[in-house]
Amino acid sequence: MKNFGTMFFKEIREFLRTYKIYVVPGLFLLFGLTSPILTKLMPKLLGNLVTEIGITLPEMTWLDAYGQFFKNLNQMGILAIILTTMGTIADERNRGITQLVLTKPVSRTGYVLAKYAANLLLISLASLLAFCAAWFYTDVIFADTVFLAGLKATGIYLAYVAVILALIIFASAMTKSAIAAGGLTVLGLIILNLLPLFSRTLSKYSPAVLTDYISQAAAGTAASCDIWGAVAFAAGTIALLLGSASLLFSRKEL
C-alpha cells in the first residue's frame, strides 16, 4: 500500500473542491432535520384519509422518528452514495487521470484503498452529523428519547454502508464507465439482499440483515451476539470485495 496516506489526503482535498462535500452531507443532514418533524405531523397529514376509512393511527413516538430517519438513509441515502461514488475509479480511468497518478510511486492497492477510506470517512461524518440533528429534534418533539439507542443504530448503519461502498469500489474498479459501475452495484445489491433466503446462517449474519438490526438496536430489542456476528460477516465481505477490487485493478490495462 505504497503512499496510501498521500492518496488518502489527495482524495480529501478533492472532496473539498467538488460538489461531493455538499451533496451527501447536505442530503443526510436534511433527513436528520426533517424526519422527526414529519413523524410528528404524520397523523395530522393523514388525518382526513384515515378518518374516511375508519383507521386510528397510533400516537407517534421517538422510535417512529428514528425509524423514519433510518428509512430515509437506507433508501435515498444509499442511492445518493451510489450516484456520487460509482465513478470514483471508473471516471478517473476513462479521463486518463489514473495513468498520471500511478506514474508516481503509488501502488494500485493503495490507490483503491485510499478511495475507499476517504469516501467512508466522508459518509461516516455525514451520518453522525445527521444523527445528531435527528436526535436533537426528536428529543425536542418527543418525550423520553434515547440517545445511545440511536447512536448504536447509526453504527450498524455505517457497517452496512461500509459494505455497500466496498461493492461500489469493486464495481468501479471493473469498468471505465460510471454508469456500468452503477449498474453492477445495483446488481450486487440485489444479490446481497437475496443471500438471507439461502440459509439460516445467512438470514442472521449476512450484510443485508444489518438493515433489520438497525431498527432493533434503536428499540433495544436486538441481541448483541447477532449484531456482532453480522458486523464480523460484513467486515469479511468488505475485505473480500476490496481484495478482489485491488486484484482486478492491478491486472487491468490503464
Top pLDDT among 159 and 198 is at 159
CA–CA distance, 111 with 105 (Å, rounded to integer): 11
Top pLDDT among 254 and 22 is at 22
Residue range 193-229, pLDDT digits in tens: 898 888 888 888 889 999 999 999 998 888 888 899 9
Q: What is the DSSP string of 86-135?
A: TTTTHHHHHHTHHHHHHTSS--HHHHHHHHHHHHHHHHHHHHHHHHHHHH
Q: What is the pLDDT of residue 178?
A: 84
Q: What is the pLDDT of residue 253?
A: 64
Over residues 53-67, mean pLDDT: 79
| Grid cell for residue 202 | 445467512
What is the CA 76 to chain-centroid distance, rounded? Answer: 10
Residue range 11-49, pLDDT digits in tens: 888 888 888 788 899 999 999 999 999 988 877 766 655
Q: Categorize the per-residue pLDDT at 254 as very low, low, confident or very high, splitting at 50, 70 and 90.
A: low
CA–CA distance, 29 with 144 (Å, rounded to integer): 23
Q: Categorize the per-residue pLDDT at 57 as very low, low, confident or very high, splitting at 50, 70 and 90.
A: low
Residue range 110-137, pLDDT digits in tens: 888 989 999 999 999 999 999 999 999 9
Q: What is the pTM of this model?
A: 0.91
CB 157 within 8 A of CB 73: yes
Q: What is the pLDDT of residue 141?
A: 93
Q: Residue 215 corresponds to which amino acid? A: S
**Residue 164 pLDDT more than 60?**
yes
